[in-house]
């Protein structure tokens, strides 16, 4: 497995190797010892799957507050998406910066974002499906988010704001500047 660092500390891009022949291919998409060597002492407790019917569907930017904060390992199993991680760790040298990576069923890449990051994505193709592992279970009481098109974040989304398919909840999320300090940075 190839593991690449990004411009935002602690966010990793994982690209599993594929072994192919005339039948197709095989890939080891997750291996605990390899992942822990790169990301640290991480335990996953829940797997989630999401289907976005229309291209241009935006989900996010979401996070969970403590005590149910989540790290996520995201991969696309059908279609393609632009996956985004925003650093919301107060005191981090990259606070407010983001990583945007295209994940697709074809490229097999995965994005790791630890606790302290908001996560969102935009589907690039119809019927795009993602799977993601999380480090804590979902808690509606601890659910939070940031407005997907907050101009202070400077995310180059592949869809115009008036064309994005969004939930009502995601349309009403606050800007990053409106959030209280939630995640202290620990170097």
In this structure, what token pair is assigned to residue 22?
A: 């005339």
98 is catalytic: no
C-alpha to C-alpha distance for 109 and 103, rounded to whole angstroms? 6
Residue 150 to residue 144: CA distance in whole angstroms: 15
Closest alpha carbon to 114 in 130, 99, 103, 129: 99
94 with 114: CB under 8 angstroms? no
User: What H or E segment, with its residue span, contains residue 37?
Assistant: helix 32-39
Of residues 74, 78, 126, the one with CA closest to residue 106: 78
Q: Given the DSSP bridges, would you call strands 110-113 and 72-78 parallel, antiparallel or unpaired?
A: antiparallel
Q: Is position 66 annotated as part of the catalytic site?
A: no
From 30, 62, 98, 185, active-site residue? 62
Which of these is catalytic: 119, 132, 138, 185? 132
The Cα–Cα gap between 105 and 24 comes to: 13
Task: Just list the catalytic residues.
Answer: 62, 132
């Amino acid at each position: 497995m190839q593991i690449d660092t990004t411009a935002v500390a602690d966010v990793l891009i994982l690209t599993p190797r594929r072994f192919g022949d005339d039948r197709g291919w095989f890939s080891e998409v997750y291996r605990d010892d390899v992942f822990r060597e790169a990301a640290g002492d991480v335990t996953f407790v829940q797997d989630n799957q999401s289907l976005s019917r229309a291209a241009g569907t935006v989900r996010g930017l979401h996070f969970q507050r403590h005590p149910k904060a989540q790290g996520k390992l995201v991969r696309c199993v059908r279609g393609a998406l632009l996956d985004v991680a925003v650093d919301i760790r107060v005191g981090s040298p990259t606070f407010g910066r983001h990583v945007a990576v295209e994940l697709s069923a074809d490229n097999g890449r995965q994005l790791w974002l630890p606790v302290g990051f908001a996560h969102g994505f935009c589907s690039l193709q119809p019927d795009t499906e993602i799977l993601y592992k999380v480090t804590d279970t979902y808690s509606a009481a601890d659910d939070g988010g940031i407005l997907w098109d907050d101009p202070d974040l400077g995310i180059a989304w592949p869809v115009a704001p008036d064309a994005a398919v969004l939930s009502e909840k995601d349309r009403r999320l606050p800007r990053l500047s409106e959030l209280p300090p939630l995640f202290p940075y620990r170097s």
